[in-house]
Amino acid sequence: MKIFVGCSSSNDIDKKYKEVCEKYLEELLKENDLVFGAYKQGLMEMAYNIALKNKRHITGICPKVYAKYVEELVLNKKIITNTINERTSKLIEESECIIFLPGGTGTMQELFTAVETKRGEEIDKPIIIYNCHNYFDETLKQLDKIYNEKFSEYKDCYHVSESIEDTLNYIKKRN
């Protein structure tokens, strides 16, 4: 399965996230292919290195503003988009499952775009938020507020996971 992993491109994140996400990605990318934002830092680099080590198919998608970073990567498929928004659309399009690990504003933009795209019935792919160390608690609280106060209907658009076992079981149920 081709899985888009949205996550941090920062090397400066707390090691507690790196440790948990490394174990998670080791299991996730044993038998699944990687679709990612084609940047060689942070959790993105970790996902890339694990997929490479496991000889998985790797699709890297990035906007032309970051195209120079793609040259450092060994990719089975490389896509350069004109804009960040086009990259997000392509990441979603190229994948069969979408998983979010802790990340910055780019990850949040991708998360909200994926949820809204699914809510609008443009896709029917599993969207999983891996809430390690309660990273997404405030985001999930805001999404609940949006839902509970009737600003949007999306409640069934994503699954919150606390473990790799739960993630893999959810993916299996969806296929």
Instruction: Identify whether 53 is part of a domain.
Output: yes
pTM confidence score = 0.95
Instruction: Identify whether 175 is part of a domain.
Output: no
Measured distance CA(114)–CA(92) in Å, rounded: 7
- Number of folded domains in the chain? 1
Helix (H) or strand (E) holding 53: helix 42-53
Q: Which domain holds residue 59?
A: 2-170
Measured distance CA(131)–CA(159) in Å, rounded: 10
Domain of 64: which CATH number?
3.40.50.450
**pLDDT one digit per residue (tens) for the chain, 175 residues:** 999 999 999 999 999 999 999 999 999 999 999 999 999 999 999 999 999 999 999 999 999 998 988 888 999 999 999 999 999 999 999 999 999 999 999 999 999 999 999 999 999 999 999 999 999 999 999 999 999 998 887 668 999 999 999 999 999 998 7
Q: Determine the number of helices (DSSP H) and then strands (DSSP E) in the chain.
A: 7, 7
